[in-house]
């Protein structure tokens, strides 16, 4: 019975982590949508390669 | 946020940070689970030899797929992969269809992987003596965690894939090394276990489509076209290295399993490589191959989220779908709305649909996509 509880705890932990991550994504999505204009968010276009965007995190310590 | 947000003028684009290793991880990561489970149904259809023929015939076809992608993507380097190729080379109707095939193929494969992972955790719980264990919490966790990882950035997502895919591949190498040569811990018995063609050449034909499992999804590397630092170099290099890796892994997998198990068992086994490790009697090998099975399943689901969201994003950006899906996150530089939108789609199928139907949905979408590729490359050469 004790063992069964241990696995049930694992199951509850899985539900809990899933809920937290899902809420985090929804929260961030809402905040992002409110902070930036729709024109800016949807400004990506195919084929526009900006050399300034060519970033190499291992060698430049992350994008700046 | 403003310090880390890279906005040039009034535009945001996907982040170009990936190298050939990430491309390899994306392609092989999606596929390697097929070595751990699924390919062996070819053995059930036509015996060991039929499975080997299927492995190599499918290997030849997929080498062509990888070469088509390498050739076309060098010219059409855009997120969306085959969708973008269809748009530029064939036309809008084909592009719309190919885009949907891609999204469904990858989202359904993601759901299938989540179901498998839930089943594996449930099996471990049952084997450990627990009662009333459920797979659903782990199915949901797999999808939501990987979506969260994808939301947070492509570099971390595919570096994670690189690590777990490499571990899963090394696990096959270690098992192979442990069963061949003078130090072998178990004797392979190909002489007695390989019994010709039990169902004749009809069995070979029946086995062919399971040969696809060894390589299905390698074409997904092209989805990363807009996020690699050097598309013309990284995509062909990553894709072809991936194909070489899979050909080696597929042949080793067949060799190990066909020398350890009778075809009647192997043909219906759920986890053939893990079963092979159990037959060696080595505890560490069993743990390693179990970890490999879990990691390959995770890597596949992870790569599928990456690919499906890029295809959906590209279609939104081109207004084949509502333009809201063409948004890029200003901080993480990912197609965040597409990633979040596809989460409930994957969850519904993983939660309610049976595995075989989900897999059929995925394969059918994939096959329609392959049909397009052969037309596409001919038109590409003429243009």
Determine, yes or no, domain membership for B40: yes
* C-alpha to C-alpha distance for B29 and B157, rounded to whole angstroms: 12
Can you give the pLDDT at residue A30? 97
| Contact criterion met (CB < 8 Å) for B326 and A42 | yes
SS3 of residue A17 by DSSP: helix
| Chain B touched by A51 (CB under 8 Å) | no
In a domain, B379, yes or no: no
| A50 against B26, higher pLDDT | B26
Pick from B8, B76, B132, B144 the residue to mutate for testing the A interface (most A CBs within 10 Å). B144
Nearest of A50, A32, A49, A52 to residue A41 by alpha carbon:
A32
Give me the pLDDT at residue B5, please: 47
Top residue of A40, A44, A52, A57 to mutate, by most chain B CBs within 10 Å, is A44
Residue B79: inside a domain = yes
Residue B209 belongs to a domain: yes
Kindly report the nearest CA distance between residue A9 and chain B, in angstroms. 11
pLDDT exceeds 90 at position A1: no
> In terms of CA atoms, which chain B residue is nearest residue A18?
B141
Cα–Cα distance for residue pair B313/B334, rounded to 1 Å: 10
The answer to whether residue B262 is domain-embedded is yes
Asked if residue B313 is part of any domain, the answer here is yes
What is the predicted pLDDT for the residue at B10? 72
The answer on pLDDT for A56 being more than 60 is no
Q: Is residue B121 part of a domain?
A: yes
Q: Looking at the complex, does the CB of residue A58 fall below 8 Å from at least one CB of chain B? A: no
User: What would the pLDDT profile of A16-49 be if each residue is shown by its tens digit?
Assistant: 999 999 999 999 999 999 999 999 999 998 876 5
CB–CB contact B10 A39 (8 Å):
yes
Q: What confidence score (pLDDT) does residue A59 get?
A: 43
pLDDT at residue B212 in the model: 87
Which distant-in-sequence residues (6+ apart) come within 8 Å of A3 by Cβ?
A: B128, B129, B130
Task: For residues B305 and B30, give the distance between their C-alpha atoms in angstroms, rounded to a whole number.
Answer: 10
A44 vs B14, B138, B324: nearest CB: B14
Identify the DSSP state of A47: T
Q: Kindly list the residues from chain B whose CB atom is less than 8 angstroms away from the CB atom of residue A47.
A: 78
Helix axes B20-31, B231-258, angle to 10 degrees: 40
CA distance A20 to chain B (A): 10
CA distance A15 to B352: 17
Sequential pLDDT tens for chain B (383 residues): 333 444 555 789 999 999 999 999 999 999 999 999 989 999 999 999 999 999 999 999 999 999 988 888 878 888 888 999 999 999 999 999 999 999 999 999 999 999 999 999 999 999 888 888 999 999 999 999 999 999 999 999 999 999 999 999 999 999 999 999 888 889 899 999 998 899 999 999 999 988 888 998 999 999 999 999 988 889 999 999 999 999 999 999 999 999 999 999 999 998 999 999 999 999 999 999 999 999 999 999 999 999 999 999 999 999 999 999 999 999 999 999 999 999 999 999 999 998 888 888 998 898 898 888 888 889 988 87
Measured between beta carbons, the chain A residues lying within 8 angstroms of B328 are 41-44
The answer to whether the Cβ–Cβ distance between B317 and A46 falls below 8 Å is: yes
Nearest Cα of chain B lies from the Cα of A61 at a distance, in angstroms, of 12
In this predicted structure, the answer to whether residue A50 has a pLDDT above a threshold of 70 is no
Residues in A closer than 8 angstroms to B226, CB to CB, are: 46
- The ipTM (two decimal places) reads 0.88
CATH number at residue B139: 1.20.1740.10
**Contact B226/A46, CB-based, under 8 Å?**
yes
pLDDT of residue B77: 81
Helix, strand and coil in chain A, % to nearest 5: 70, 0, 30
Q: Tell me the residue range of the domain where B164 lies.
A: 20-374
- Domain count across chain B: 1
Would B11 be classed as within a structural domain?
A: no
A interface test, pick of B141, B156, B319, B344 with most A CB neighbours within 10 Å? B141
pLDDT at position B56, please? 93
Position A55 confidence tier, pLDDT thresholds 50, 70, 90:
very low
Put simply, whether B83 touches A (Cβ < 8 Å) is no
pLDDT at position B73: 82
């Amino acid at each position: 019975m004790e063992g069964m509880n241990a696995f049930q705890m694992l199951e509850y932990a899985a539900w809990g982590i899933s809920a937290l991550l899902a809420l985090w994504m929804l929260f961030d999505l809402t905040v992002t949508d409110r902070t930036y204009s729709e024109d800016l968010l949807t400004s990506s276009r195919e084929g526009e390669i900006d050399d300034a965007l060519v970033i190499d995190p291992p060698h430049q310590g992350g994008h700046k | 946020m403003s310090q880390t947000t890279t906005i040039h003028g009034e535009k945001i684009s996907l982040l170009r940070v990936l190298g050939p290793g990430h491309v390899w991880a994306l392609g092989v990561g999606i596929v390697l689970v097929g070595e751990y489970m699924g390919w062996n149904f070819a053995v059930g259809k036509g015996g060991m030899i039929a499975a080997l023929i299927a492995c190599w015939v499918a290997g030849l076809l997929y080498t062509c797929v990888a070469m088509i992608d390498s050739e076309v993507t060098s010219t059409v380097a855009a997120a969306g992969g085959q969708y973008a190729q269809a748009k530029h080379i064939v036309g809008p109707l084909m592009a719309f269809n190919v885009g949907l095939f891609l999204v469904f193929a990858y989202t359904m494969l993601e759901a299938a992987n989540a179901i498998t992972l839930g089943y594996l955790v449930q099996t471990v719980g049952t084997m450990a003596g627990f009662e009333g264990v459920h797979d659903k919490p782990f199915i949901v966790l797999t999808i939501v965690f990987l979506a969260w990882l994808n939301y947070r950035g492509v570099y971390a997502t595919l570096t994670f894939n690189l690590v777990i895919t490499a571990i899963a591949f090394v696990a096959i190498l270690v098992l192979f090394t442990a069963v061949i040569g003078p130090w072998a811990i178990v004797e392979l018995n190909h002489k007695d276990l390989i019994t010709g063609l039990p169902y004749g050449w009809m069995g070979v034909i029946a086995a062919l489509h399971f040969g696809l499992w060894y390589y299905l999804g390698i074409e997904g590397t092209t989805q990363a076209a807009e996020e690699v630092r050097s598309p013309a170099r990284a995509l062909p290099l990553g894709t072809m290295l991936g194909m070489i890796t899979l050909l080696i892994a597929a042949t080793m997998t067949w060799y190990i399993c066909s020398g350890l198990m009778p075809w009647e068992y192997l043909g219906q086994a759920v986890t053939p490589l893990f079963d092979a490790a159990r037959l060696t009697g080595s505890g560490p090998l069993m743990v390693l191959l179990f970890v490999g099975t879990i990691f390959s399943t995770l890597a596949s689901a992870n790569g599928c989220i990456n690919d499906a969201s890029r295809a959906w994003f590209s279609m939104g950006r081109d207004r084949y779908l509502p333009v809201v899906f063409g948004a890029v996150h200003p901080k993480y530089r990912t197609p965040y709305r597409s990633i979040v939108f596809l989460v409930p789609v994957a969850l519904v199928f993983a939660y309610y649909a049976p595995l075989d139907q989900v897999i059929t949905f995925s394969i059918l979408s994939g096959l329609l996509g392959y049909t397009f590729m052969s037309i596409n490359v001919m038109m590409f050469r003429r243009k």
